[in-house]
Amino acid sequence: MKRTAPFSKAAIRNACIATVFGVVPVGLFGLAVIGRNIANGNVADCNNGTWAACEKLLDDRMVGHNVTNPKFKAEVAKRKAQEAAAEREANRWQPTKTNIRQLAFACAQQRLKPLLKDPNSLRILNRGMKELTDTHVTVWVDYTATNSFGGPTRDAFTCTYTR
């Protein structure tokens, strides 16, 4: 005797899909509405001068524009300035091969070349970065040039740039 299931696999699958696509979105929508009502209550309390409600809104960028409390607006402006300063600091000049090459070339052309007896004989052999700190970067240039007697000389020259 063959036993049969009271429901087919397709019927069970369709019921699961209907449950997932029916219940989950309604639940998520309900949570969003509840969260929005809490945020609106915090906006009203912040506008009335309750700083504890304002602190809850400081990280919520979506409702912050509805707040009229001047102390809150000053705190938001202060935090934006701090974030901008932190971003500027993070995006400070960083050494790359191209940047180092450009600095070394500028070092050779602007600082080294005027010191040579025969500036047109300058030939850069190699270049690189010697030191990088928070305040400055030092690049070096390995070069050859003609000396006072007309013979070639090889030397290295360093330049320090403020960051």
Q: What is the pLDDT of residue 73?
A: 83
The predicted structure's pLDDT at residue 150: 92
**CA distance linking residue 5 with residue 11, whole number of Å:** 11
Identify the pLDDT of residue 30.
46
| pLDDT confidence of residue 106 | 92
Q: Quick one: pLDDT at residue 135?
A: 83
Q: Domain-by-domain residue ranges, the chain?
A: 10-90, 97-162
| Structure-block tokens of residue 11 | 């019927």
User: Which pLDDT score, from 0 to 100, does residue 49 have?
Assistant: 80
What Rg, from alpha-carbon coordinates, does the chain have? 34
The residues of the chain scoring below 70 in pLDDT are 1-40, 60-65, 93
